[in-house]
Amino acid sequence: MPIPDFQTLMLPVLKFAESRDEHSLSEATEFLADEYSLSDEEKNQLLPSGRQPVFYNRVGWARTYLKQAGILGLTRRNYLRITERGQEVLQSNPDRIDMKYLEQFPEYVEFKERKREPKKDDEKPTSSEELSPEESLDDSYSRIRVDLAKELLDNILRSSPAFFEQLVVELLVKMGYGGSRAEAARAVGRSGDEGIDGIIDEDRLGLDTIYIQAKRWTDNPVGRSEIQKFVGALQGKRARKGIFITASRFTDQARDYTSSIETKVVLIDGKRLADLMIDHGVGVSTVAKYELKRLDSDYFIDTLE
Tell me the per-residue pLDDT of 223-236, one tens digit each, with 9 for 90 and over. 999 999 999 988 88
Residue numbers of the domain that contains 270: 153-280
Confidence of residue 194 (pLDDT cuts 50, 70, 90): low
Both 229 and 160 in one domain: the answer is: yes
Q: How far, in Å, CA of 163 to CA of 180, rounded?
A: 18
Q: Is the pLDDT of residue 10 over 80?
A: yes
How many C-beta neighbours within 10 Å does residue 175 have?
12
Give domain status of residue 2, yes or no.
no
- Mutual angle of helices 106-115 and 54-68, in 10-degree steps: 120
What torsion do the CA atoms of 276, 280, 283, 284 make, to the nearest 10 degrees? 110
**202-219 pLDDT, tens digit each:** 766 666 778 888 888 877
Output 51 or 271, whichever has higher pLDDT.
271
CATH of residue 258: 3.40.1350.10
Give domain status of residue 297, yes or no.
no
Output the pTM of the full model. 0.59
**129-185 pLDDT, tens digit each:** 567 777 888 878 887 888 788 888 888 888 888 888 888 888 988 888 866 555 554
How many domains does the chain fold into? 2
Task: Please list the residues that pair with 212 across neighbouring strands.
Answer: 198, 243
Give domain status of residue 22, yes or no.
yes
Confidence of residue 127 (pLDDT cuts 50, 70, 90): very low
Burial 120-150 (b: 16+ CB within 10 A, else e): eeeeeeeeeeebbebbbbbbeeeeeeeebbe
Both 101 and 163 in one domain: the answer is: no
Task: Show Cβ contacts of residue 156 under 8 Å, excluding neighbours closer than 6 positions.
Answer: 164, 167, 216, 247, 270, 273, 274
Q: Kindly list the distances between the CA atom of residue 223 and the CA atoms of 32, 80, 111, 297, in Å, as whole numbers in the listed order.
A: 47, 56, 57, 56
Q: How far, in Å, CA of 84 to CA of 74, rounded?
A: 13
Half-sphere exposure (Cβ direction) of 92: Cα atoms closer than 13 Å: 13
Give domain status of residue 4, yes or no.
no
Q: How far, in Å, CA of 210 to CA of 237, rounded?
A: 11
Containing 232, the helix (H) or strand (E) segment is helix 224-236
CB 23 within 8 A of CB 80: yes
- pLDDT computed for residue 100 by the predictor: 94
CB 1 within 8 A of CB 33: no
Give domain status of residue 210, yes or no.
yes
Residue 46, phi then psi, degrees to nearest 5? -100, 155
Q: Is the pLDDT of residue 81 over 80?
A: yes
Of 97, 117, 137, the position where a domain reaches its end is 117
Both 171 and 254 in one domain: the answer is: yes
Both 161 and 107 in one domain: the answer is: no
Residue 201, phi then psi, degrees to nearest 5? -70, 140
